[in-house]
Amino acid sequence: MFKSRVLRVAVPPSGNPNGGGRRARRVAGALLVGLLTLVAVPSPSEAQLPRETYDRVLILGDSWSAGIGLLSDSVRADTTICRAASSAAFPHGVRLAKEMDAEYTFSACNGSTIARARSQVAVAHRALGGSGEGTLIVLSAGGNDLRSHGGDDWPTVLEDCIRRWFGHCNEDADNHVANFEEIEQDMTGLIESIESRFPDATVRVMGYPELMQVSGSKCHGETKISLQEADFLDANARRLNTHLRDGVEAARWSNARFVESIDAFDGHGVCAYDSSDRWIHGVVNWWAVSVNSFHPKQAGYDAFYELLADSLPYVDLKITGQVSVPNLTIGK
C-alpha cells in the first residue's frame, strides 16, 4: 500500500581543498544514521491513518450489479430471474461488503433502467432511513435505457447483430442509438435523487466494458458476428460510458464518482482468442438464450471488484480471499 522513498545525498569530490568532501561525508553519515533511526521507529500504524469505513453497502441498478452471468444452469434460461443467488459465485458489490464486514442491501435487478434505479433508491430510503452516513452505494444503470432509431432496446439490437444472416447490423440506420443525451440527463437525475435522500453516502457508478473486443481477423468467441458489427457494438459501449460519466459529473456532487472499466477489461471480451481470457459470456444456449449471455463471468466480476476497491482509498478490508454469500438480499 505504501511506497518507500529513497534519499539520495550528493557528496562533493574528496579532493575539495576546504575539506568539503569529508564534511559532506560526515553529514551524509549523520543523515544515514538518522534515516536508519526513522526506519527503526515505526511510523503511525495504518489503523491511525485516515480510512474510509462503511457500515452498509447498498447495491442498485441493473444486471451488471445484480450478478447476472453467474446464474446456474438450472435457472439461466429464466428471464424473470432478478439477481444471482449463489453461495459459490457473487458480484463485486456483495463481495466488497463481505470483505468490509459490512451489512448490505441487494436491490439491483436484471432489466432495471435508470428510472427503476431511482425507485430502488426511494424504497431503500424508506426501509433504511438516515442520511447515508457510513453507506457505500454501488450501481450500474443505463444499458437498458438505450433505444435505437428503430425503437428497439439494446438487447434486441445485439440479438439482431448475432442472428442476422444477410448484411451487417451496423449498416442498418435503425440499429443506431437515438437517446444518448437523454440517458446522460437521466443519470444526472438519478445522482441528484440519491443525494437528496442519502446526502452523506458515497456513490460509485460502474461503467460498462466493451463486450466484443475483436482479436485478430475474427471474433473467436462468437463467430457469427463480423468484425464491423463487433466494433459497432463496442463503439456504442464507449459512447454510453462517456454520457454516463458526464451525467454523473453534471450532478456536481463530490461524493459520487464514475468508475471506468474499459481498460481493465482490455483483451478480455467475447472475441478473445483464448477462451480463458474471455471474462464475458457470448451467447449461452442458442435455442433458449440464457440471461447469462453477454454478462460477466466470475473473472469479470472479480475485475469489477478490483476497480471498485481501488476507487475507495483507505478502505479497511477485514477479510481476504473468496467468501461465501448465504443471502443476497439483505445480509452481513
Cell numbers placing 125: 430510503
Q: Are strands 330-331 and 56-61 parallel, antiparallel or unpaired?
A: unpaired
Q: What is the pTM of this model?
A: 0.79
In percent, the amount of the chain with pLDDT more than 70 equals 73
Which tens digits make up the pLDDT trace of 79-93? 677 887 555 568 999
What is the pLDDT, as a whole number, of residue 222?
A: 83
- Three cell numbers written together for 36: 536508519
pLDDT digits (tens, 9 = 90+) for 230-243: 999 999 999 999 99
Residue 297 has pLDDT above 50, yes or no: yes
Judge contact between 307 and 259, C-beta under 8 A. yes
Q: Are 67 and 83 in contact (CB under 8 A)?
A: yes
Kindly tell me if the per-residue pLDDT of 299 is higher than 90.
Answer: yes
The residue among 83, 87, 89, 90 whose CA lies nearest residue 68 is: 83
Domain ranges of the chain: 1-43, 53-331
Q: What is the pLDDT of residue 26?
A: 42
CATH superfamily of this structure's domain 53-331: SGNH hydrolase (3.40.50.1110)
